[in-house]
Structure 1
Amino acid sequence: MSDWISSFVFFFAVIDPVGTLPVFIAVTSRHSEWQRKKIAIMAVAVAAGILLFFLFAGQYLLEAIGVPLSAFQVAGGIVLFLFALTMIFGEGKPEQEVGIIRDGNETAIFPLAVPSIASPGAMLAAVVLTDNHRFDPIHQINTASSMFAVLAIVLMLLLTANWIYRWIGNAGASIVSRIMGLILASVATTNVLLGIQQFFLA
């Protein structure tokens, strides 16, 4: 159970469901209520498909090009740590991705499904948390279920986005994004240390 919770927290931090709300509202501001629901379902479905691909095939792709998972874990941990720093000290997720929308990319797929939901950090998490050399199929299924639990939360938040965003506002979403950044920095540091340890033990 503790492993499932750990995976859930990891995915929650890298996907940042609350930080996706301003992006979704900006994308769907000119759409009807029915169209917003359709866009929310489509975006989560596309993101789920992308993350499932990385969950099942990511490690095989790495092995095919001769990259050990420990090296990917260290590199990914560094990237995640830098990403976490931008979440903590720089612009939050809402400001960054709403800025993308203002540049004219107003579609449900980009930037809503990618990179807002299926973020680079989430893709990394899908690979690292299902390492075939460390985890058995049962553990991998549990990891997949924790990912789907976070995606279910994302969908629920998007379907009630207008009400929630009126309650927390852009400032509230930015605060949550920074808290998730701090958690993500801790997780990233752990990944780097584990990756180094596994590299030298291999």
Structure 2
Amino acid sequence: MIDLLATFIFFFAVIDPIGTVPVFIAVTKNYDEVQKRKIALFATLVSAAILVFFVVAGELILTAMGIPLSAFQIAGGIVLFLFALSMIFGESKPEEEVRMVKSHNDTAIFPLAVPSIAGPGAMLAAVLLTENARFNIWEQVQTVAMMLLVLAIVCVLMLCASFMHRIIGNGGASIISRVMGLILASVATTNTLSGLKAYFGL
């Protein structure tokens, strides 16, 4: 049995549902409410498909390439840590991705589904938290359920984006994104240490 709350918090940190709200508002500003709902649902479905693909095939691809999962765990932890640092000290997620929207005329796929929802951190998390050697099928199903729960929250927040944005504003989303970055940095450090322990057989 996995720690459902810890898994939920991990995915919540890497996906950052609240940080997606300003991105969604910016990318859908020229659409009516019906089209906004369609974009929100389609972006969520695309993100879910991408992350489930990494759950199912991520480890198989690594095995085929001869890369031990412990090495991927170390590299993944380092990448997640750098990603977390960018959330804390650099441009926050909403600031960076809203800027992407202003320079690209895309909707549900870019930058909403990728990289706002199913970003590099979420893809790495999907692989690391469903490692076959560490987790049985039932535990992996639980992990996927937590991941899909976070995606469902993303979808609900996008559907309520106008209301949410009036409450927290871009500044509020930026603050929350930085707090999520701090949590993610802690999780990333734990993953790197676990990978080092497994790699060197400690």
TM-score w.r.t. length of structure 2: 0.98
Residue 109 of structure 2 aligns to a residue whose secondary structure is coil
Match of 1:53 in 2: 53
Identity of aligned residues (%): 62
2:11 partner letter: F
2:71 partner letter: A
2:15 partner letter: I
Match of 2:94 in 1: 94
1:26 partner letter: A
Shift of 1:106: 2.5
Contact kept, 8 Å, 2:2 with 2:142, in 1: the verdict is no
Residues 25-66 of structure 1: per-residue CA shift (max 9 Å, x gap): 000000000000000000000000000000111000000000
Residue 170 of structure 2 aligns to a residue whose secondary structure is helix
Gaps of 5+ in 2: none
Map of 1:14-33 to 2, 5 A cutoff? 14-33=14-33
1:83 partner letter: F
2:122 is the alignment partner of 1:122: yes
CA RMSD of aligned residues (A): 1.1
1:60 partner letter: L
Contact kept, 8 Å, 1:54 with 1:127, in 2: the verdict is yes
2:194 is the alignment partner of 1:194: yes
The number of aligned residues is 202
TM-score w.r.t. length of structure 1: 0.98
> Structure 1 residues 139 and 2 mapped into 2: Cα distance closer, same or farther (>3 Å)?
closer
Gaps of 5+ in 1: none
Deviating above 3 A after TM superposition, structure 1's stretches of 4 or more consecutive aligned residues are none
Separation in structure 2 between the aligned mates of residue 195 and residue 59 of structure 1, nearest angstrom: 15
